[in-house]
Chain A
Amino acid sequence: EPEVTQTPSHQVTQMGQEVILRCVPISNHLYFYWYRQILGQKVEFLVSFYNNEISEKSEIFDDQFSVERPDGSNFTLKIRSTKLEDSAMYFCASASGTGNQETQYFGPGTRLLVL
């Protein structure tokens, strides 16, 4: 069964450093998402991406964040200058974009710890 993959599984970084989180969505999917989950809190939407551009973003997704699809398979989330409060689990998701109730499939996540 095809699945979303994410690397790295864990990332520890110093405050102020840049991090890039990588995702490989399911191959025939067209919509890509990043969500985050701070420990003990709910899953929160960050950004969605379609047709090589951002289609929707939340208020969390400020100028410190950017997304890119550098080639046909990878989908990346960059945090330019990490803050302590960026520590969270970051989930990538993808969806085919068809049907009335679109199913989003989540990757296993990257646990980011900012020190």
Chain B
Amino acid sequence: RKEVEQDPGPFNVPEGATVAFNCTYSNSASQSFFWYRQDCRKEPKLLMSVYSSGNEDGRFTAQLNRASQYISLLIRDSKLSDSATYLCVVNLPGRRALTFGSGTRLQVQP
């Protein structure tokens, strides 16, 4: 089983739509969780950390479900500029190294 699994997509949505991505992780003792965004041929950039209580940053909401070992990202009111690949990222127990999922590609269309 992969350490971090994501639906590769692509998700094609119209501007203004709400879209949600899920990610599952295999190690129940994983400690820290993040969503990164990666534009084509660019570096990953931190979108938001994911906290146990869930957290929101503008149009973006992240949730963590430790019992089911999944993380979600909700994007409201999608913009053309949201088009990118969204990477689910986890710290495995005792490690500082980041473990990346393969990413979910989002294409927001006019």
Contacts and interface: CB of A to CB of B under 8 A. Distances in A.
> Interface range on chain B: under 10, 10 to 19, 20 to 34, or 35 or more?
20 to 34
**Among B41, B43, B46, B102: residue with most chain A CB under 10 A:** B43
Interface stretch (B12-20, B68-76, B90-98): B90-98
Contact of A48 (B32, B51, B87, B97): B97
Main secondary structure of the interface of A (DSSP, over half): strand
Contacts of B51: 101
A75 interface: no
Interface residues of A, number: 26
A103 interface: yes
A42 B43 contact: no
Interface of B: 32, 34, 38, 41-46, 49, 51, 87, 95-103
Interface of A: 31, 33, 35, 41-45, 48, 55-56, 58, 89, 91, 95, 100-109, 111
29 contacts: A31-B96, A33-B98, A35-B98, A41-B102, A42-B100, A42-B102, A42-B103, A43-B98, A43-B100, A44-B100, A45-B98, A48-B96, A55-B96, A56-B95, A56-B96, A58-B97, A89-B41, A91-B43, A101-B32, A101-B34, A101-B51, A102-B32, A103-B49, A106-B43, A106-B44, A107-B43, A108-B43, A109-B43, A111-B41
